[in-house]
Amino acid sequence: MIAPRVSFALGQLGRFMSPARSPALARFYSAASTVQQTPAPEVQAPPEKTAASGQQPTKEGVFMRTYKPTSPGIRHLKRPINDHLWKGRAYLPLTFPKKGHGKGGRNNTGRVTVRHRGGGVKRRIRIVDFDRCRPGPHTVDRIEHDPGRSAHIALITEKATGRKSYIVAAEGMRAGDVVQSYRSGIPQDLLDEMGGVIDPGILAAKTTFRGNCLPVHLIPVGTMVYCIGSFAKGPAKFCRSAGTYATLVSKEEETREDGTKVMTGKYVNVQLQSGEIRRWITLTVVVVAKGGYKTRHKKFNKWVVTPRVRNMGKRRDKASDA
């Protein structure tokens, strides 16, 4: 009988001592807190994995597109992401069909000299301009895939005449870029900007841009170039494939009293990717930047499965199937 009475008394006492009914009976030691509570930081959701969107980075930091293994041909297949490439057909006036019995591994007599070749999808050969003799600015219309080479190609249009041509695309080149060839000489408007006097430093700052073609003696030391000619008036012969480049190591030049450098020698030293250093004539033309499509590598091309092999013009060995 004691416990109910005590609980009832405490309940009644707590009701009468509530601050809402009697402020005088409130606890004298209670006070409002003056410390401002900092709001808890918002916890952001972790970023979505790239695998969910079909993209996975490699050790080189290149994002690759993965595929759902619905067939053996695309199982474990990874390809570089090239969303900037042109999805339509090539510019037909600059192409011609690849025909002849040479596609089947036969020589001029019609006999098979290379086995396991034949069939495949139809191809057209792209006519690429390796001379770059047309002066003036050219606008890059689009970047295309060329089945006949490892590097990408760019379709450019001459602003003065509207003439179109194909060139090997540089690394990072996109549609809308403006490239120019200085092979025939320095234009008059550029000479007027420099005050009629050729300053090597100012000239290099105005001409050494990605995709421009100019003589090798006008390029600063340490610049990476591609599409290098073998002699003064010839087309490009070196560093034409994907991701290839050479570096200008040294030039035979002397410094004047005013600080400007002038070419005195006839040759320049260029280092290839193999480490070989070659001497080139100063009038040899090169293109500034690296060759495009540096992510193209054999480990990214899984085409050893039969359907993809047949599309590439390869035939299996019948003796191995027996």
Full-model pTM: 0.76
* Cβ pair 140, 175 in contact under 8 A: yes
Q: Residue 77 has what pLDDT? A: 82
Tell how far CA 271 is from the center of its chain. 22
Alpha carbon of 266 to those of 33, 169, 194, 279: distances in Å? 85, 29, 25, 10
Which residues, given as ranges, of the chain have pLDDT below 70?
1-61, 259-260, 294-304, 318-322
Task: List the Cα angle 263/269/270 in 5-degree steps.
Answer: 125
| 3-class SS letters over 121-186 | CCCEEECECCCCCCCEEEEEEEEECCCCCCCCEEEEEECCCCCEEEEECECCCCCCCEEEECCCCC
What's the length of the chain?
322
Please report the domains of the chain, with CATH numbers, ordered by start residue: 82-288 (2.40.50.140)
Q: Residue 318 has what pLDDT? A: 67
Q: Residue 61 has what pLDDT? A: 62
* CA-wise closest residue to 266 among 216, 195, 194: 216
The pLDDT tens digits for 65-101 are 888 999 877 888 888 888 999 999 999 999 999 988 7
Q: Residue 232 has what pLDDT? A: 86
Q: Residue 273 has what pLDDT? A: 92
The pLDDT tens digits for 275-312 are 999 999 888 888 988 877 766 555 555 556 777 788 88
Tell how far CA 230 is from the center of its chain. 26
Give me 196's structure tokens: 């009629």
Q: Residue 293 has what pLDDT? A: 72
Q: Residue 25 has what pLDDT? A: 46
SS3 of residue 254 by DSSP: strand
Q: Residue 39 has what pLDDT? A: 56
